[in-house]
Amino acid sequence: MTNLEPIASHRLHDGWQRQYKHQSAVLNCTMQFSVYLPPQAEHQALPVLYWLSGLTCTDENFSQKSAAQRAAAEHGIILVIPDTSPRGDDVADDDAYDLGKGAGFYLNATQAPWSAHYRMADYVVEELPALITQAFNTNGRASISGHSMGGHGALTLAIKHPQNYCSVSAFAPIVSPTTCPWGQKAFNAYLGDDQAQWADFDACLLLKKHGLKLPVKIDQGLADNFLDSQQLTKPFEQQCQQQQVAADIQYHDGYDHSYYFISSFIDAHIAFHAQALHKPG
């Protein structure tokens, strides 16, 4: 099985929740990821849904807190959950939670010391899918989703690589990182002061430049403390309207930024992706 080393395995909804580690050539460190293999994976090739987690998360937050596996088993979808950043003693870090380890922002850093390891965009788009294809019984179809920083990653990577995905969704995504504190801090560190490089990882600016024909679904809690301060969802909705991009964007009273919110609506997201992933042709 390629260079994957098993870490853990748990029976779940007649499938398997597993965790692996491997040496990443792209990130120049040892990485780990989680994968849920639904029961159908034992006898047929299945599509894959990549989930990108938010700030401070590892590959385990989603697998332990989202309750997504039940719907994945129902719809016959493999869930792949990478870590949020490179890891290791020699990987650059910062004392703050919104920079460094746990805060890779799913981009390719160009500035030292970050550029030695922080190439999460290439890892998610190229290296990890190649490993998954080689190691598991997949059918070549994939979609992508994520939360907060991971929602930013899902949207930007889907817009830049639409040929790789059948659909994209997000929970409370950072959609305008060039204009919000989290994004500005990360982009200045990882990419320097070149605003052109910043624009290459901003969902609103990318949508304006490239458009998007993939099915898009976003859910946003209205009790989210970061809704306005970190430019979540609303600017992207406005850009979709301007670009005439059809997107299913819904707001929910009382819901915050936590996994309580994600677990409340994850079944609808899995069903949304299933419709695209299992579409004939």
Backbone angles phi, psi at 132, to 5 degrees: -65, -45
Quick one: tokens of 71? 């719907």
214: which DSSP letter?
A: S
- Residue 85 annotated as catalytic: no
Whether 159 contacts 216, CB under 8 Å: no
Q: Is 53 an annotated catalytic residue?
A: no
* Eight-class DSSP state of 174: B
Q: Give the C-alpha separation, 17 to 34, whole Å.
A: 7
Q: What is the residue-wise DSSP string for 191-241?
A: HTT-HHHHHTT-HHHHHHHH---S-EEEEEETT-TTTTTTTBSHHHHHHHH
SS3 content of the chain, % helix, strand, coil (to 5): 40, 25, 35
Q: How many CA atoms lie within 13 A of 103 on its CB side?
A: 21
From 237, 233, 245, select the one nearest 175 (Cα to Cα). Answer: 233
State both tokens at 117: 């390891």
**The one catalytic residue among 75, 224, 269, 273:** 224
Q: How far, in Å, CA of 95 to CA of 126, rounded?
A: 29
The residue from 24, 53, 85, 148 that is catalytic is 148
State the DSSP code for 100: B
Known catalytic residue: 269?
no
User: Which residues are designated catalytic?
Assistant: 148, 224, 257
